[in-house]
Every structure is written in C-alpha cells, then in structure tokens.
Amino acid sequence: MPRVFSGIQPSGELHLGNYLGAIRSWVRSQHEADAFYCIVDLHALTVETDPAELRARTRQTALELVAAGLDPDACTLFVQSHVPEHPRLTWLLECTASMGELRRMTQFKDKSAGAESVRVGLFTYPVLMAADILLYDTDRVPVGDDQRQHLELARELASRFNARYGTTFVVPEAAVPPVGARVMDLQHPERKMSKSVSSPLGTVLLFDEPADIERKVKKAVTDTDGEVRYDPEAKPGLANLLELLAVATDRAPAAVAAEYHRYGDLKRDVATALCDLLAPARARRNELAGDPGAIDAVLADGAAKAQAIAADVYHRAASAIGLLAPA
Ligand code: TYM
C-alpha cells in the first residue's frame, strides 16, 4: 500500500480552502493508502500564538478533522509535538539545506515582508515540513496549491541526502487536486482564502451555519460585465464561484459556466451545493463535541503508531549521516 502523509496547522477554524484543497483528498486516501495525518503544532509556533489557545485549537482541529470524515480506524491522526523525531530530523536536514534555498520560499517572503523582527522558526519552517514528510517514507502528499514549493524543497532535500549519504529517504510526490487547489477569498478574489487573514465575509468556515454560507456567497465580489464564463484571469471572483460549484458537484468549471446566464442564479446554487456538501460534517461535529475525551484517546493512539515508524526512519538517517548510536 502506498504511504500518504499530510499536515495542517492548528491556527484557526478549518475553512473551505482547507477542505477542498486537502482534507477531501485525505478522506479519500485513508481507504486506499496507509495514511498519516498530522496536526502541526510546532509549525504554529512560527508566529505569535496564545499558549492556552494553541492547546485548545490543537484538540479542536483533531475533532474537526474527524467530523470532516477522517476515520481514526482507517488512518493515523496525531499531533506533531507528540513525536520528538520531527524536530530531531529537522536538525539533520537543516545541516544539509542552504540559506539561499530557504530564502527563495515565497511563503517566507510573504509572511516576513515588512516585519520588524522575523523568527528563525519562520525561516526554517519548510525544513520542519520536509522532516514531517520524510520521517514516514511517504510516497504521496495531498496538499493545496500553496504548498507546492515546500514539497519541491522536501524532494530536493531527500534526493540530496540520498546522493551524499546513501539511499535513506523515499522521495515524495505532491498530490494537488485538479480543481479546488486554490480557493480564493470571496471578498478579495485575488488572494487565497486563509485562516490567518481576517476576512470574515470572505472566508467560508467548514462549520458555518447554512444561513452564514448563504450570506457570504450572496455577498461574494464578482464583476460588472454580467456575462457568466470561466475566465480566472479576467473574472477571478466569478471563476472562484464556478470552481466551488464544479468541485462540490464533481464537474468542470467551464461546463458549469455553460449552464448559467445570471450571477444571482449561480450564487444561489453555489450556496445550496456548499450547504449540502458541509452538512454531514456539521452534524458529526455536534455529536463528537459531547465526548471530548475520545479525541485525546485517538491522538494518543495515533502518536504511538506514528512514533514506531518515525523512530526507525530517524535512526536510519542519523546512522547514515555519521552519528554514533548510543550503546
Ligand atoms: P495549512 O495549515 O496552511 O493548510 C492545510 C492544507 O490546506 C490547504 N489550503 C488550501 N487549499 C486550497 N485553497 C486554499 N485557500 C487553501 N488554504 C489552505 C493547504 O495547501 C494545506 O494542504 N505547511 C502546511 C502544513 C504542513 C504540511 C506538512 C503539509 C506541515 N507539515 C507536511 C503537508 C505535509 C500548512 O501550513 O498548511
């Protein structure tokens, strides 16, 4: 069975971009692959976080992922900081990565632009991400479009390590969905939907009430020419709506466009399709919220399973690079 690994930061409520870009593929992959999904709390520390809030969000993210369709009997769900091999392998990889290649990461450039002080962790963030992936002999990494460059770096670090120290790591492939890999903000369709940018009307949360979804879609920014066609360059707001309906109903955006003449009709159907798509997750979340202890047990079990693999791979890498094993 192929091995699948992916991760998500516990830095806010899950939104439609997370779901369509990544989590939907995770749910599918858990039945076809040996799947590991990680809540990357160490990555969340690269920006300012409130300690109590981070702890609560970590548990809440686990619960929301299960509500969204992850089955703890079918996949391994765990918290990154519960498996100490992640920061341990990061160090080995940091000693093979160069400052130049990390400086080229566009997400680092965006997040650090204009900041008075930039955390070292924000700079080395992609190396921790590479360690996450390489620790599990991962074949496939289902992610949204914004993680492509980080995946390229993970592949490069794995290949370089293998070439220098002998075959140690599996070189992973990114798996980016054909539609839904870059869900845009409904109010600012030139930028991606995101939990860190505060745009409450532009961000559809996975657990929004149907009335909120309807309101947000109705107010979505489009354009004034009034013609329904799929043209992401010239009509980014409309293209985003067409993509949402396409992905929610498993069709191509251009085929969806051909069925509409009026923006209002399209928006009505987008809202209905999103409400239908997200209804099962909302119902499951309400059930799970009644038993918070159950999620801790899932995470404890997940960490034990993850660590059994990660420890092996870490020791393989440590030995290859020349660290003396403890007697
Ligand atoms: P994060 O937490 O920002 O996002 C989690 C997943 O959601 C996808 N995503 C989107 N997809 C489509 N449209 C959007 N607007 C959108 N916003 C987010 C992301 O591409 C991602 O797949 N660095 C990662 C977490 C990570 C990771 C890993 C991922 C750490 N280690 C190892 C894979 C493998 C991140 O910050 O994702």
> Taking residues 267-277, what's their average pLDDT?
98
Residue nearest to atom 1 of ligand 1 (CA): 8
Q: What Rg do the C-alpha atoms of the chain give, in angstroms?
A: 21
Out of 195, 216, 235, 267, the active site residue is 195
Among the options 111, 216, 235, 267, which is catalytic?
111
Model's pTM, two decimal places?
Answer: 0.96
Among 302, 298, 300, 285, residue whose Cα is nearest residue 64: 285
Please, what is the average pLDDT of the chain? 96
Question: Cβ(18) to ligand 1 under 6 A?
Answer: yes
Q: What type of residue is 192?
A: K
CA angle 278, 283, 287 (to 5 degrees): 145
192 catalytically annotated: yes
> What is the rounded distance in angstroms from the CA atom of residue 245 to the CA atom of residue 274?
8
CA distance linking residue 101 with residue 122, whole number of Å: 14
Q: State how far the Cα of 291 lies from the Cα of 243, in Å rounded to an integer.
A: 36
Selection from 79, 61, 53 nearest residue 22 by Cα:
61
What confidence score (pLDDT) does residue 131 get? 99
Burial level of 325, CB count in 10 A (0-12/13-18/19+)? exposed
Indicate whether residue 24 lines ligand 1 (CB < 6 A): no
pLDDT at 280 over 80: yes
Structure token pair of residue 208: 């929004």
Q: What is the DSSP letter of 259?
A: T
Tell me the mean pLDDT in the region 10-28.
96
Q: How far is CA 292 from CA 11, 283, 295, in A?
A: 19, 16, 6
Per-residue pLDDT at 198 exceeds 80:
no
Measured from the CB, is residue 41 less than 6 Å from ligand 1? Answer: no
Q: What percent of the chain has pLDDT over 70?
A: 100
pLDDT number for residue 290: 84
**pLDDT value at 271 more than 80:** yes
Q: How far apart are CA 53 and CA 38, in angstroms?
A: 18
pLDDT of residue 167: 98
Neighbour tally for 156: CB within 10 Å: 15
Short-list 292, 302, 304, 307, CA closest to 75: 302
In this prediction, residue 4 carries a pLDDT of: 98
Q: What is the pLDDT of residues 286-324, one digit of tens each?
A: 899 888 789 999 999 999 999 999 999 999 999 999 999
Number of H helices, E strands in the chain: 14, 5
Per-residue pLDDT tens digits for 59-118: 999 999 999 999 999 999 999 999 999 999 999 999 999 999 999 999 999 999 998 899
Per the annotation, the verdict on 219 as an active-site residue is no
Contact 64, 284 (CB under 8 A): no
Average pLDDT estimate for 213-222 = 98
Residue holding tokens 């498996």? 83
* Closest ligand 1 atom number to CA of residue 142: 22
Model confidence at 259: pLDDT above 80: yes
Q: Catalytic annotation on 267?
A: no
20 alpha carbon – ligand 1 mean position (Å) = 11
pLDDT(197) > 80: no
Lowest mean pLDDT among 43-52, 123-132, 204-213, 286-295: 286-295
pLDDT at 199: 84
Instruction: Decide: 278 in ligand 1 pocket, CB within 6 A.
Output: no
C-beta of 256 in contact with ligand 1 (< 6 A): no
What's the rounded Cα separation, in Å, for the pair 179 and 253? Answer: 8
Give the residue, by CA position, lying nearest to ligand 1 atom 18: 18
